Structure 1
Amino acid sequence: MFILFFRLVGRGIRDLGLHPWANIFTLIAVTMVSLLAGFFMLALQNINQELLKTRGEVQFQIFWKASTPEDVYVSEWEKLSNIEGLKEIHTFTPQNALTQLSSALGGGENFSYLDKDNPLPPTALLSFSVEPGAGDENWASDLLSELKAMNGVDKVHYNPIQIDLARGWLNLTKTIVWPVIMFLGLVVALVVGNTMRLSLMTRKDEIEILYLVGAKQWFIRIPILTGGAVQGFLGGTLAVGILYMAQQFFRDILNFPPLFLKIGFLPLDQCAMLVGVVAVVGIISSYVAVR
């Protein structure tokens, strides 16, 4: 039984060559529709990622006592870099902080007289993504206590409102982005389904003859369903490949001041979802058409 099944699957793949032009145009149509959906998904993904950079993180600013020895706070900075969920860290020695202050004032101020008696403390700015701790309501307060207990730390500042804003933004993106992706999947399903059904009209006589000679339904359908799956899979894969080449070509097109936006590619799960949806639609549309 399994041998016959695989033979029918193989026949379905070979049958794609019986009507090459019809199948080529079908593959082009499936690829173009999948590519259009992929471009929308890519745009949504990049917009979401850029907004999450400012809306989906919480910052902690740590001040050490001005009298803290350099080896102490440098050692503490090394520990900070290993904290779970840390997205980014910026550290400032008293001398760095003085230089930053001079730059912020336009570089016209000369603070060289403070080099030997610098009043600015060592500082660290930590950025955390909310997602790693999104399931724990107390993660920020626990982290705050941990940071305050570090050697030489004078005070720690953070804005609790950032946590609520970040969580709210994450919930909003999940509420908006995924329904839009599902809508795109529905559009792809309708267009690809109709395209596949029209392509099977070229095999109408063949299917009717098989029914007339008494062939079982599964014997007729397996090769046709295989052809639909192959065309859907190839169309989705080609669309992802073209989308990747376009992303590489246009990656830095918005990477200029004041935007500084780099266009990233879709995550692996979304690429797999796009290919899988198109392949499944190919199977379903072939099944509906052959009935």
Structure 2
Amino acid sequence: MIGQLLRLTGRGLADFRIHPWAHLLTLVAVAMVSLLAGFILLALHNIDLHLLKSRGEVQFQVYWSADATPELIQTQWETIGAMDHLVEIKGFTPQDALLELADTLGKTGDFSWLKDQNPLPYSALTSFAVPPEAQQEGWAADILTGLKAMDGVEKVTYTPLQADLARGWRVISRAIIWPIIGFLGLVVGLVVGNTIRLSLLTRMDEIEILSLVGAKPWYVRWPLLTGGMVQGLLGSAAGIGLLKLAQNALAETLNIAPLFIEIRFLPWEHCALMCGAVTLVAALSSWVAVR
């Protein structure tokens, strides 16, 4: 029985030679749809990571006066680093700030002529976790007052990041993103199903002869189902591979001040789930076609 299934599977794979261009275009279509779905999932995953990181935190941007000495700045960075509930502190020297500004502006950001007359001050980006027992607004105001009172500090700004943002994003993702992914799954099903129908039409005489000699339905359908599953598997794997290449190229695009967002790839279990889902859709569409 197992040997017979292997022979039928091999026959299903051999069908790729009958209509190579049709199968190739089907693979390309499945890969592109998988890539598009992967981009949506990648955006969703990174936004969730960013919201999870910032949820329950308050960020303060501290600017010192232009006459502040490096010794004073170093001491105050250490003082801020020892404050309660500090999550992260990133200090920027005038040179660092100038480089960040130049990177942000791209080719138009050549500020090498300002190297000896840098007008940018020392600054720091700090993140504080809001204690569960604290009132967020009053607690943030106390931190703001304490930072402003430090020697040499000229300005402090802060932006409380509310958990409502994450909750609103979940509503948007459920209302828009998942239906889009469902539509892309339907596209995969139609593309693979039509290709299987084409294979079915080209083998109609063979199928009729097999039916006349008493071949069971599964004997006729298995090679066609195998072809659909392989197309779904190879197409989704190619789409995930292209998604990884795109993520490598875009990983540091948003990792600049003030965003500091690194675009991370999907967890491998999500990739496996997407690959399995596309293969399952392809198998189901093949089953509908051969029925």
Of 188, 193, 196 in structure 2, the residue corresponding to residue 197 of structure 1 is: 193
Cα deviation, 1:33-77, whole Å, max 9, x if unaligned, reads 1111111221222223223332xx4459xxxxxxxxxxxxxxxxx
Give the TM-score normalised by structure 1.
Answer: 0.62
Instruction: Tell which deviates more after alignment, 269-278 or 209-218.
Output: 209-218
Unpaired stretches in structure 2, ≥5 consecutive residues: 89-128, 141-160
Helix, strand or coil for the counterpart of 2:281?
Answer: helix
Residue 192 of structure 1 and its aligned partner are, at CA, apart by 1.3
Separation in structure 2 between the aligned mates of residue 122 and residue 159 of structure 1, nearest angstrom: 20
Residue 171 of structure 1 and its aligned partner are, at CA, apart by 4.9
Separation in structure 2 between the aligned mates of residue 175 and residue 258 of structure 1, nearest angstrom: 26
Separation in structure 2 between the aligned mates of residue 225 and residue 120 of structure 1, nearest angstrom: 64
Match status 1:125 vs 2:121: no
Helix, strand or coil for the counterpart of 2:65?
Answer: coil
Alignment of 1:68-147 (within 5 A): 104-106=63-65, 108=67, 122-127=82-87
Instruction: Tell which deviates more after alignment, 31-40 or 278-287.
Output: 31-40
Alignment of 1:119-268 (within 5 A): 122-127=82-87, 159=136, 166=163, 171-177=167-173, 180=176, 182-200=178-196, 201-202=198-199, 203-205=202-204, 206-268=206-268
Q: Is the 8 A contact 1:9 1:222 kept in 2?
A: yes
Residue 23 of structure 1 and its aligned partner are, at CA, apart by 0.9
Letter matched to residue 125 of structure 1: H
Aligned to 2:36: 36
Aligned to 2:99: none
Letter matched to residue 285 of structure 1: S
Q: Percent identity?
A: 40
Helix, strand or coil for the counterpart of 1:259?
Answer: coil
Cα deviation, 1:65-99, whole Å, max 9, x if unaligned, reads xxxxxxxxxxxxxxxxxxxxxxxxxxxxxxxxxxx
Helix, strand or coil for the counterpart of 2:85?
Answer: strand
Letter matched to residue 177 of structure 1: S
Letter matched to residue 190 of structure 2: N
Letter matched to residue 214 of structure 2: G
Q: Is the 8 A contact 2:229 2:282 kept in 1?
A: yes
Q: Is the 8 A contact 2:56 2:162 kept in 1?
A: no
* Count, aligned residues: 221
Residue 197 of structure 1 and its aligned partner are, at CA, apart by 2.0
Residue 121 of structure 1 and its aligned partner are, at CA, apart by 11
For residues 108 and 235 of structure 1, do their structure 2 counterparts lie closer, same or farther at Cα, with a shift above 3 Å needed?
Answer: same
Letter matched to residue 45 of structure 1: H
Q: Is the 8 A contact 2:240 2:271 kept in 1?
A: yes
Separation in structure 1 between the aligned mates of residue 184 and residue 250 of structure 2, nearest angstrom: 24
For residues 254 and 160 of structure 1, do their structure 2 counterparts lie closer, same or farther at Cα, with a shift above 3 Å needed?
Answer: closer
Q: Is the 8 A contact 1:15 1:227 kept in 2?
A: yes
Letter matched to residue 188 of structure 1: L
Residue 195 of structure 1 and its aligned partner are, at CA, apart by 1.1
Separation in structure 2 between the aligned mates of residue 172 and residue 10 of structure 1, nearest angstrom: 50
For residues 269 and 179 of structure 1, do their structure 2 counterparts lie closer, same or farther at Cα, with a shift above 3 Å needed?
Answer: farther
For residues 257 and 192 of structure 1, do their structure 2 counterparts lie closer, same or farther at Cα, with a shift above 3 Å needed?
Answer: same
Helix, strand or coil for the counterpart of 1:265?
Answer: coil
Letter matched to residue 108 of structure 1: D
Aligned to 1:82: none
